[in-house]
Amino acid sequence: MAKDRINNFNAGPAALPLPVLEEIQESFLNFKDTGMSITEISHRSAPFDAVIDDAAARAKRLLDLDDDYNVLFVQGGASLQFAMIPMNLLRAGETADYVNTGTWSTKAIKEAEIQGVKYNVAASSEDRNFCYIPKEFSFTPNAAYVHITSNNTIKGTQWAGYPDTKGVPLIADMSSDILCRKMDLKPFGLIYAGAQKNIGPAGVCMVIIRKEMLDRVPKTIPTMLRYTTYSEKNSMYNTPPCFAVYTVQLVLKWLEETVGGLLEMEKINREKAATLYDLFDNTEFYSGTADKESRSLMNVTFRLPNEDLEKKFVAHALENGFGGLKGHRSVGGCRASIYNATTKKAVAELVDFMKTFEKRNG
């Protein structure tokens, strides 16, 4: 391992598994004996077909989804999905339901609003600054879909389970928690995730769509904005972001073969999160910002007694090799993002550092 690397708690782009980075580095001038870099090979070639097909197959296997679902690789991030979802999936006269749990949900709702479609905010936790996941919903009967943000990177909350929508397809922005735990995803009509938190580098968004949802896609929207275009062309109507897809493939391979699958990953993630939350529950120096039952396994948000101490904490942490602990610019405070690639060792070392910092400054 490169000794000069830091413990990276960035919220996204975020830490990637070191073995994945090392494999990319090792093969960077000659990918699979092609005599070319992965950045130089044709996307219309057998070696790249193997990459994209393997990435999709592993995603479905890990998430326990069958051939009712297609895995698509789309550019533009989750933010483009906010627009593509109502554009593709709402039929004339239908209503879309949204649950508002923070910044990203609010942005998703704004894109529905821009398009002038009918939507209903079925629940919101804005009353307490989004520090919890709502439990009561006013769903629209026969809504086209119910959109949720499964994990809220900025507010540090996560859905522990998913709401019963009485058969209406769920849609989730899982950018910051996809593949962090074992869940039944069958109620979902569409799942999407910008790769740069849990599954890869920035530059590709994984979209998993139940095939029957594709019947809704109108032909009157631009080709590159139709889910059917990606579905019919194996995400290669035009040149896909090859390097990003390749990295996703390697991360999913690592998750299956090195970590050992989602149950193992979930166990590790729960242990990592517990060591931090236990610290909060046993001191008044660090206080978590999310309600206990809504706490995220991925983004641990917390405050120190005052802003000066928070500044000092972030700076000292960085000096000691812990990066990315500043809270999102919109909320302040501190945040440790502990995605799949963040090791138990890194979290344990952070907790040790935090205890020492408390002793010296508490």
Positions annotated as catalytic residues are 104, 173, 197
Q: Does 30 bind a second copy (CB under 8 A)?
A: yes
Q: Does 301 bind a second copy (CB under 8 A)?
A: no
Q: Which is nearer to a second copy, 239 or 283 (CB)?
A: 239
Give the count of residues interacting with a second copy (CB under 8 A). 71
**Burial degree of 55 (CB within 10 A; 0-12, 13-18, 19+):** buried
Binding-site member from 134, 156, 203, 288 for a second copy (CB under 8 A): 203
Binding-site member from 101, 150, 176, 247 for a second copy (CB under 8 A): 247
Q: Which is nearer to a second copy, 100 or 229 (CB)?
A: 229
Q: Which is nearer to a second copy, 29 or 160 (CB)?
A: 29
What gap in Å lies between CA 110 and CA 32, rounded to an integer?
44
The piece of 111-119, 182-190, 208-216, 279-287 that touches a second copy (CB under 8 A) is: 111-119
Binding-site member from 19, 36, 267, 343 for a second copy (CB under 8 A): 36
Q: Which is nearer to a second copy, 75 or 120 (CB)?
A: 75
DSSP string, 179-198: TSS----TTEEEEEEETTTT
Beta carbons within 10 angstroms of residue 87's beta carbon: 20
106's tokens: 């609010």
Task: Describe the crossing of helices 307-319 and 344-361 by its angle, rounded to 10 degrees.
Answer: 130
Closest CB 238 distance from a second copy, rounded Å: 4
Binding-site member from 50, 57, 114, 263 for a second copy (CB under 8 A): 114
Sign of the dihedral defined by the CA atoms of residues 38, 44, 46, 50, in that order: positive
Q: Does 234 bind a second copy (CB under 8 A)?
A: no
Among 288, 147, 268, 94, which Cα is nearest to 198's? 268
Closest CB 110 distance from a second copy, rounded Å: 8
Going through 63-163 in order, the beta strands assigned E by DSSP cover: 69-74, 95-100, 118-124, 145-149, 151-152, 157-158
Binding-site member from 121, 214, 225, 331 for a second copy (CB under 8 A): 225
Residues 142-201 binding a second copy (CB under 8 A) are 194, 196, 200-201
Are 333 and 327 in contact, with CB atoms under 8 Å apart? yes
Residues 73-102 binding a second copy (CB under 8 A) are 75-80, 82-83, 87
Are 227 and 211 in contact, with CB atoms under 8 Å apart? no
Which amino acid type is present at position 141?
P
DSSP H helices, 208-290, are 227-232, 242-253, 262-281
Binding-site member from 111, 173, 177, 310 for a second copy (CB under 8 A): 111
Q: Does 106 bind a second copy (CB under 8 A)?
A: no
Residues 319-348 binding a second copy (CB under 8 A) are 321, 323-324, 329
Closest CB 6 distance from a second copy, rounded Å: 3
Strand partners, 147: 98, 171
Q: Does 33 bind a second copy (CB under 8 A)?
A: yes
Are 72 and 231 in contact, with CB atoms under 8 Å apart? yes
Closest CB 23 distance from a second copy, rounded Å: 10
Closest CB 202 distance from a second copy, rounded Å: 4
